[in-house]
Amino acid sequence: MANLSVGDVSLEIAEAGSGPPLLLLHGIAGPLGETSLFRLLARHARVIAPSHPGYGGSPLPDWIDRIDDLAYLYLDLIDKLGLREVCLVGCSLGGWVAAEMAVKSTQHLARLVLVDSFGIKIGDRETRDIPDIFALHPDEVSALIWHDRKLAPDLAAMSDEAVERVVRDQEAAALYLWEPYMHNPKLRRWLRRIGAPTLVLRGAHDGLVSAPYAQAMADAIPGARLETIAGAGHVPEFEQPQILAERVQRFLGLVGA
């Protein structure tokens, strides 16, 4: 892990591997720079995995408080690193950021993968598309996110430092996701601007992103296809990293079909 300045923002970034550039954006469960998925993808690509401001070792500037801020920040990161033909992979919250990036600019984007992404509104104003994780008991939230709850973090077994990091990550998630709750009211309309080949992936047991929601996301992006990952909830990057990596690598053309 190292920190890189993008404008006045210091980003904690993990980087490994060589080959086509792959920007990996993490979700609500936290940074991916030290995970199995990161290492698997780095076998066939140059993987760059930042921690969103407020997560991990990335400080949170007082002006960053929206998904839009992250989208523009990572477009600037691509420019700063001089990346071209970027493979953009976003999970959960990171999928929303990736979609916003692709709507704003596809200049250097080769392919796009959205994993259990939210960010759009599919129901009426009185219907909540995604369960309110900030109003539910932590055990209920864990059941929605994890298919195999034995893999969920055990706060009681963590060091004080690790618990503080988890709490900080949760505070950052609340900042980005709360208002409006887990969506941009206009994003679904603008997804038609995405010209890059797109794969939408969903954990088969995801309790946050429903199958109809994921299908609506795929339907709004020209030519996008939807695939399901068995044995995973909202976080296949942690529950099924091998399968997720294989799906991503095949779609990106990093390995044979």
DSSP, collapsed to helix, strand or coil, labels residue 198 as strand
pLDDT for 155: 82
246 in any annotated domain: yes
First to last CA, the chain: 32
pLDDT tens digits for 31-53?
999 899 999 999 999 999 999 99
pLDDT recorded at residue 255: 76
Is residue 257 in a domain?
Answer: no
At residue 157, the pLDDT reads: 87
Give the whole-angstrom CA distance, residue 177 versus residue 256: 37
Q: Is residue 61 part of a domain?
A: yes
pLDDT at 137: 93
What span, in angstroms and rounded, lies between the C-alpha atoms of 95 and 27? 7
**Is position 8 within any domain?**
yes
Question: Do the domain assignments include residue 11?
Answer: yes
All residues at 6 or more sequence positions from 140 whose CB lies less than 8 Å from its CB, including other chains: none
Domain count, the chain: 1
Tally Cβ neighbours within 10 Å of residue 241.
Answer: 20
Cβ-contact 70, 53 below 8 angstroms: yes
pLDDT of amino acid 1: 85
The answer to whether residue 93 sits within a structural domain is yes
- CATH number for the domain spanning 34: value is 3.40.50.1820
pLDDT tens digit at each of 257 positions of the chain:
889 999 999 999 999 999 999 999 999 999 999 899 999 999 999 999 999 999 999 999 999 999 999 999 999 999 999 999 999 999 999 999 999 999 999 888 999 999 999 999 999 888 889 999 999 999 999 999 999 999 988 888 889 888 898 899 999 999 999 989 999 999 999 999 999 999 999 999 999 999 999 999 999 999 999 999 999 999 999 999 999 999 999 999 987 65
Give domain status of residue 25, yes or no: yes
DSSP class of residue 113?
Answer: E
- The pLDDT value recorded for residue 257 is 53
Containing structural domain, residue 70: 2-252
Distance CA 50, CA 74 (A): 9
Note whether residue 45 is domain-resident: yes
